[in-house]
Copies of this chain bind each other. A is one copy, B any other.
Amino acid sequence: MSRDAVVGAVRALGVDGLLLVGDSVCDADIYYASRFLSSDRFAVLITDRIHLLVSSMERARASSESKADVVETTSDYSMKSRIEEFGSADKAYIKVLEEFVSKHGISHLGIPSNTPAGIYRSLTEQFETSLLDKPFEHIRAVKTPEEISAIAEVQEACESAMEVAVSLIKKSKPTGGILVFDGKPLTSERVRSAVELRLAELGCETLDTIVCGGLMSSSPHSRGSGLLPADMPIVIDIFPRSKSSRYFADMTRTVVRGEPSVEIVEMYQAVKIAQEAGLKCIKEGVSGADVHGAVCRTFDDFGYTEREECGFIHSTGHGVGLSIHERPSLSEHGGTLRSGNVVTVEPGLYYPDIGGVRLEDLVVVRENGCENLTAFEKELVIR
């Protein structure tokens, strides 16, 4: 259970308590430790118990929704009269934080290195503090069965949205080099909007969605815009988050409507085999570097060698959870995989004069292999 993991992780840090301050929409550690979603700033103090400090307006919701053992409010620490006293809500808040920490008998306080500097500096004047880098990254990387179910559910929504995208492209007609759907040229924007609408229907949000066609697809981060081409690759990368569970999923497919060039067909073949090599390599105990190495070797065998921002120019994959990019990393420096890690496996090849191809699956690391959460077909040419 993640509550016990949180308390255990803090115990191992060698401090009396760990204080997190921020909003849990933007800070995944704060959501992980509290399971309380708020776009307003609040504080979590973890000792042998999990204490929340929220505004009095949030007391009821925090008590019913959060996983904290104790919910306190800033009113319990006379926030209102502190504001009168200091003439500043920020100064008053820092004073309230200090009393909150003191009250729980902390002398040596752990503070994550992403804590706002102003709060860190003030607390350092009152307490012995240790600045800690990402205190939950290792426990967050190993998902509980509940977390894996939550991710699998988002992945299902993701595939439903991919189906919408692929089906729009499939129903389009190659006409004079572009795709035409329902009498109108099909654009990246049209496909993206259909994808995001389906995700909204399924309770997911997206910061963005890549629908990138033609030579533009040779830039892996390009989101794509304008007319979608016939006979050229279209990279579709969808990474939604559930609005309720807050977990992400992530997948990519590359498709061509019409007749792809020989180069693209060969690249697709190599990417697919490289992905299989990566997937085959994954199990508890191997390193992310090993998996990345297996993918790179496959590309080398096919004669695709990275040079000057061409070829396979990114890492093989990354962890996915409450953040879209988290531990572990499947890259040159990736460490040992553990059962319960959830990672993407997403080799790709990119050439500015040919285009880009990427395939991305989302998998769970298991003791003797991996469980692929992605069921969506891999077909380059769709008709």
Q: Which residues of A are in contact with B by a Cβ distance under 8 Å?
A: 25-26, 39-40, 56-58, 60-61, 83, 90, 111-121, 131, 133, 193, 196-197, 199-201, 203, 205, 207, 219-223, 309, 314, 324-325, 333
Contact = CB atoms under 8 A, between A and B. Distances in A.
Contacts of A57: 219-221, 314
B324 A39 contact: yes
Contacts of A121: 117, 120, 131
A33 B230 CA distance: 39
A322 to B, nearest CB: 13
A223 B65 CA distance: 12
| 6 tightest A-B CB contacts, nearest first | A113-B118, A200-B200, A117-B120, A26-B26, A114-B116, A115-B117
Nearest to A324: B39
Contact of A117 (B117, B205, B309, B324): B117
22 contacts: A26-B26, A40-B325, A60-B219, A61-B221, A61-B222, A90-B133, A113-B116, A113-B117, A114-B116, A114-B117, A114-B118, A115-B116, A115-B117, A116-B117, A117-B119, A117-B120, A118-B131, A196-B200, A197-B197, A197-B201, A199-B200, A200-B200
A204 B125 CA distance: 43
A357 B61 CA distance: 19
A76 to B, nearest CB: 14
A357 B111 CA distance: 41
Contacts of A131: 117-118, 121
A117 B113 CA distance: 5
A39 to B, nearest CB: 5
Contacts of A324: 39
A347 B133 CA distance: 43
Contacts of A222: 60-61
